[in-house]
Amino acid sequence: MSKVDIRDLRDWLNDVEKLGEVTRVTKEVDPHLEMGALTYLNGKNSEQTTLLFEKPKGHKGDVKVLFNPIGNSMNRLSLAMRTPPGKSPIELVQFIKEKFDEKIKPVSVDPKDAPIFENVWMGDDIDMTYFPTPTHWARDGGPYIGTADVIITQDPDSGRVNLGTYRQMIEGKDRVGYYASPGKDTLLDREKWWAKGKPCPVVSVYGVDPLLFICAATGFPKQESEYDAAGGIQGSPIETVPGKITGLPIPARAELVIEGYSYPDGGQEEGPFGEFTGYYGRPGQEQTPSIDIKAVYFRNQPIMTAALMADHPSCEQNLFLAVMRGARVWRDLEACGIPGVQGVWSVPSAAGGFGMTVVSLKQMYAGHAQQAAAIAAQCAGGAYFAKFIYVVDEDVDPSDLEQVIWAASTRCRVSEDIDILRNTWSTYLDPSKNPNEERPYGSKALIYACKEFKNIKNFSRRTALTTEQYEQAVNRWEELGMPGKAPTLKVFDNLEEEFRA
């Protein structure tokens, strides 16, 4: 595959199906807890596919539910990012980081050419119970229609359109709640409208191209629109159409969209919800703003998208955030003028890819590693929730946790090489901060799992093969009946350098 030509969820699903990574579940499955259970167990299998539930139990309409579109598949993630599969994790991070420079604004298409308007409900026709909305976990406060979703809002002052992913619980036939953590753009937009004494116009997309979902779930600079970033990654503008109620730009090829307003005094109790941390978020039911739905749009035979939040590896956001956050932090480090970055990775198993960032750095000057760690910890792309920021040297692949642990165990002087930042940006969802009133403040450990710069020239030499040794072994691999394939190595020790024992 040399070129990826995908414009919407259906195109992406076709390509993924050709790779054998879709399981179509044609028998009846209950959206209430059963889909979530199957997705959780499927995530624990290494050969996992995305799950397309074709017959949701108790629902008459022809509506399918697609769970965990990306999961732990580099293939599915690559296709969502409009690039052929085959790149290593850090190559994909670098590819995305470079795409961040190629912003392309969305284009508005004629509403007649927008598949999303194939079905339009307004007024009394609106009934969200028609859609098979999953309840994921037994203690969830209700069915959550918004998980693999995109919420669209606008800054009333600058006009910047924001895309964000937020959990949304069905509260009635024409009402959903949406929970946003402090500091998130959706919340800041909402409060600006309210401060002007106006309701906040909102669009929410519940069947969505994974590219838009992934961009919405990634922290971009506040003044930038995720639409432009997604267009840049796609290499062509995202097609939109103005909403009939709010005029907000709606993805023209989406599957299911609602449009409405959020009012400052319109909140309801929402939650709890099984979260990316692997714990229920917000232990009790709490007041959360809602959206009063004024219009519903959907394509014929729509496909809803759903993301299970869970411990690793069943949590939908883990792999794609590892790549997206890695790319964002790398870009932010570059923007701050930090040289020598070889790669950045947000470890997928660290609570939805949020908990741990690893920066691989070619150290060039005193304090370089400490500077990189402090910026990676606090930059816009990496600050939220992150608890552990590791800096490793350039011979360590940051996406290989085993190598990172080896580096920490052999290069980090624990008493000297760990700094702590306090009262940093976190979330009410962090279960480690108790009592609840202590949230949402967090703290971060900066761990220099790299050679001490002062002694870098005298640091013990690591054992590594010479290039000649390696090539000889690879050439004889089959002849000698060695099992599997010879692994690829990136680190060699060629003896022309002075030997230091």
Contact set with ligand FMN (CB under 6 A): 147-148, 162, 164-167, 179-181, 184-186, 217-219, 307, 309, 316-317
Alpha-carbon gap, residue 33 to 53, rounded angstroms: 13
Residue closest to ligand FMN when measured from CB atoms: 164
**What are 448's two structure tokens?**
């220099």
Q: Least distance to ligand FMN from the beta carbon of 242, Å?
A: 21
**What are 371's two structure tokens?**
């500077």
Of the two residues 96 and 404, which places its CB atom closer to ligand FMN in the complex?
Answer: 96
Alpha-carbon gap, residue 225 to 227, rounded angstroms: 5
Q: Least distance to ligand FMN from the beta carbon of 455, Å?
A: 40
Of the two residues 227 and 448, which places its CB atom closer to ligand FMN in the complex?
Answer: 227
Q: Least distance to ligand FMN from the beta carbon of 215, Å?
A: 9
Decide if 143 contacts 32 (C-beta within 8 A).
yes
Q: Least distance to ligand FMN from the beta carbon of 376, Å?
A: 17
Q: Least distance to ligand FMN from the beta carbon of 151, Å?
A: 7
Question: Distances from the Cα of 113 to the Cαs of 236, 250, 360, 436, in angstroms?
Answer: 17, 13, 47, 49
Of the two residues 133 and 162, which places its CB atom closer to ligand FMN in the complex?
Answer: 162
Of the two residues 296 and 307, which places its CB atom closer to ligand FMN in the complex?
Answer: 307
Report DSSP state, residue 135: B
Question: Does an H or E element contain 239, and which?
Answer: strand 239-242
Alpha-carbon gap, residue 340 to 355, rounded angstroms: 24
Q: Least distance to ligand FMN from the beta carbon of 497, Å?
A: 45
Q: Give me the amino acid identity at 251.
A: P
Q: What share of the chain is helix, strand, coil (3-state, %, to 5)?
A: 30, 25, 45
Spell out the residues 6+ positions from residue 143 whose beta carbon is closer than 8 angstroms to its own.
31, 32, 133, 134, 135, 169, 170
Of the two residues 13 and 152, which places its CB atom closer to ligand FMN in the complex?
Answer: 152
| Alpha-carbon dihedral angle through residues 419, 422, 426, 427, given to the nearest 10 degrees | 130
Q: Least distance to ligand FMN from the beta carbon of 309, Å?
A: 6
Alpha-carbon gap, residue 38 to 331, rounded angstroms: 37
**What are 238's two structure tokens?**
């995202």
Of the two residues 115 and 141, which places its CB atom closer to ligand FMN in the complex?
Answer: 141
Of the two residues 121 and 384, which places its CB atom closer to ligand FMN in the complex?
Answer: 384
Q: 419: which strand partners?
A: 446
